[in-house]
């Protein structure tokens, strides 16, 4: 009898410990942007800020119903059982397996109760954006339901900027955007281009799926990065189910997947919750014209008598409303009904007030453009423009010291954020002409030789023990290049391998000479 009591007490203690641990984890989630209880304030405020942009008020109008406007304040909202939600989620035509639990339910309640007005706006915007997402997802053979990710990323606002600096409808950070070939400069930010950013996001998601072969984990990694997901899997004993690694993930990511499931539910079942879409004034049909000459959106607006706000909403990637001149050409999206008019009047459009719209002082001084960076101009005076190719081990501080310029100048001249540079990148450096000859051969110097110019002695690293000419028939470990890969990132995957090893072994001299699908030799098979 005493043994039975002892086992009973031991069970109570173990269960209590488990409960306390679970409660502690549960409470930690509540203190972040998540809404695992009924406290959605942080998350809902973030949703509001993402959608609360001037373009929303200019592109949306209240939808008329047969009985005038719906009085949301006096709606008698029906409560649904878990079985109702489960049934509707199971009926969604989704390839991705969507789970249902109390976390998902709380996000559904957030969307359908506290944030129903926001859902109305997003439903209106979805009529314009979802066809863009679906076409690109379909062309790349990805599940079409991934179109709901921008609902939780940006609330379908191409100008959304997070506190961390993620930008655009798919919320790309600067470095990730560059990795996926998005153009980001003074005039153009393709993270805000609905088409270009979707193409980049689709490639990114495809790469993540190739890592996990699980869409839910790929979605989680889109939010927090594959490194954090890998750590969660490892710390969970190799488990690869999202809900089994849930508490090992970053706190924000714990709410990301449930929010995606809830968004998928709400965007398909809003009618059950008496939510009415708000009509969007985005045109149903648009044409894309390729522009190679410098063009201001106001030139198009004033000559064609088209609302400027409409043009800006259709072309949010142009930071100053200026399409820069380029041989490759930039896209201009306009409503179809204006296409022939633009073609007929294009000479007049390009010449209209060009001396006014391309005055640089106007661009710099206009508060509207305060978000954008200033035009990067060379220093005034007698300066030579030199190029330095980034090598392995370089950083902005070293390069600034070698050329005797300020690190901030190098960042300014090269549109660099947070000191992020990559091997093979060419950096512009302005040097007084009288001293330019001193730096003529800097690209050919080793790290130790460049440090020596500062009076700093560094032992040369030798690679005499590296033999790159292997006998014919040697078997190698190989790697197939993915989109956005660099030699540095590939080398990190293998112990004892550097970027230069891979480049020498594959007879590559240019660190930028990587192409998608290329097969690289990494090292001999032991």
Among 36, 145, 153, 499, which one carries the catalytic annotation? 153
Q: 380 in the Ramachandran plot: left (φ > 0), alpha (ψ -120 to 50) or beta?
A: beta
C-alpha dihedral (39, 43, 45, 46), degrees to nearest 10 = 170
Neighbours of 87 (CB within 10 A): 12
Residue pair 276/120 in contact (Cβ under 8 Å)? The answer is: yes
Between CA 70 and CA 85 the distance in angstroms is: 24
What kind and span of H or E run contains 428?
A: strand 426-432
Q: 267 in the Ramachandran plot: left (φ > 0), alpha (ψ -120 to 50) or beta?
A: alpha
Between CA 281 and CA 158 the distance in angstroms is: 16
What kind and span of H or E run contains 521?
A: strand 519-524
Between CA 318 and CA 301 the distance in angstroms is: 15
Contacts for 135 with CB less than 8 Å, ≥ 6 apart? none
Contacts for 511 with CB less than 8 Å, ≥ 6 apart? 389, 423, 424, 486, 487, 499, 503
* CA 232 from centroid of its chain's CA atoms: 22
**β-bridge mates for residue 432, sequence order:** 383
Q: E-assigned strands of 26-91?
A: 60-61
Q: How far is CA 13 from CA 8, 10, 19, 27, 328, in A?
A: 9, 5, 10, 21, 70
Q: Does 153 participate in catalysis according to the annotation? A: yes
CA angle 205, 211, 215 (to 5 degrees): 50
Strand pairing of 279-280 and 60-61?
antiparallel
Concatenated DSSP letters of 114-146? ITHHHHHHHHHHHHHHHHHHHHHHHHTT--GGG
CA angle 183, 371, 426 (to 5 degrees): 35
With H, G, I as helix, E, B as strand and everything else as coil, classify residue 188: strand
Q: 225 in the Ramachandran plot: left (φ > 0), alpha (ψ -120 to 50) or beta?
A: left
What kind and span of H or E run contains 495?
A: none
The Cα diameter of the chain in Å comes to 99
Concatenated DSSP letters of 272-293? GGT--PPEE-S-S-EEEEEE-S
Catalytic residues: 153
């Amino acid at each position: 009898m005493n043994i039975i009591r002892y086992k009973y007490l031991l069970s109570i203690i173990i269960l209590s410990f488990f409960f306390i641990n679970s409660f502690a984890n549960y409470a930690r989630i509540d203190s972040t942007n998540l809404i695992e209880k009924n406290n959605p304030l942080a998350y809902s405020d973030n949703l509001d800020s993402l959608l609360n942009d001037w373009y929303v008020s200019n592109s949306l109008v209240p939808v008329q119903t047969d009985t005038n406007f719906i009085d949301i304040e006096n709606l008698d909202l029906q409560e649904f059982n878990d079985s109702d939600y489960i049934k509707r989620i199971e009926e969604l035509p989704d390839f991705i397996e969507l789970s249902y639990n109390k976390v998902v339910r709380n996000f559904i309640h957030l969307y359908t109760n506290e944030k129903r007005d926001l859902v109305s706006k997003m439903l209106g915007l979805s009529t314009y954006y979802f066809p863009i997402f679906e076409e690109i997802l379909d062309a790349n053979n990805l599940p079409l339901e991934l179109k709901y990710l921008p609902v939780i990323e940006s609330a379908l606002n191409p100008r959304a900027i997070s506190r961390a600096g993620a930008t655009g409808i798919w919320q790309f950070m600067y470095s990730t955007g560059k990795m996926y070939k998005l153009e980001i400069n003074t005039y153009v930010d393709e993270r805000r281009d609905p088409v270009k950013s979707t193409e980049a996001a689709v490639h990114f998601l495809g790469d993540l799926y190739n890592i996990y072969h699980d869409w839910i984990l790929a979605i989680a990694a889109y939010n927090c990065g594959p490194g954090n997901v890998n750590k969660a899997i490892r710390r969970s004993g190799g488990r690869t189910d999202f809900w089994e690694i849930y508490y090992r993930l970053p706190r924000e990511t714990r709410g990301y997947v449930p929010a995606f499931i809830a968004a998928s539910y709400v965007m398909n079942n809003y009618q059950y919750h008496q939510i009415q879409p708000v009509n969007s004034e985005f045109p149903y049909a648009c044409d894309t014209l390729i522009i190679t000459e410098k063009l201001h959106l106001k030139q198009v607006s004033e000559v064609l008598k088209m609302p400027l706000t409409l043009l800006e909403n259709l072309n949010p990637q142009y930071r100053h409303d200026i399409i820069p001149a380029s041989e490759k050409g930039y896209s201009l999206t306009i409503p179809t009904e204006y296409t022939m008019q633009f073609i007929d009047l294009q000479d007049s459009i390009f010449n209209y007030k060009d001396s006014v719209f391309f005055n640089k002082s106007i661009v710099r001084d206009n508060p509207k453009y305060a978000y954008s960076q200033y035009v990067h101009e060379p220093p005034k005076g007698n300066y030579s423009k030199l190029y330095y190719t980034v090598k392995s081990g370089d950083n902005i501080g070293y390069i600034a010291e070698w050329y005797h310029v300020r690190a901030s100048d190098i960042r300014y001249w090269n549109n660099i954020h947070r000191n992020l540079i990559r091997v093979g990148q060419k950096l512009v450096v302005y040097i007084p002409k009288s001293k330019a000859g001193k730096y003529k051969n800097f690209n050919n110097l080793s790290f130790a030789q460049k440090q020596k110019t500062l009076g700093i002695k560094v032992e040369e690293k030798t690679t005499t023990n590296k033999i790159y000419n292997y006998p014919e028939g040697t078997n190698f470990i190989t790697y197939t290049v993915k989109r956005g890969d660099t030699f540095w990132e590939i080398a990190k995957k293998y112990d004892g391998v550097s970027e230069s090893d891979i480049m020498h072994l594959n007879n590559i001299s240019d660190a930028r000479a990587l192409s998608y699908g290329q097969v690289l030799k990494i090292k001999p098979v032991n």
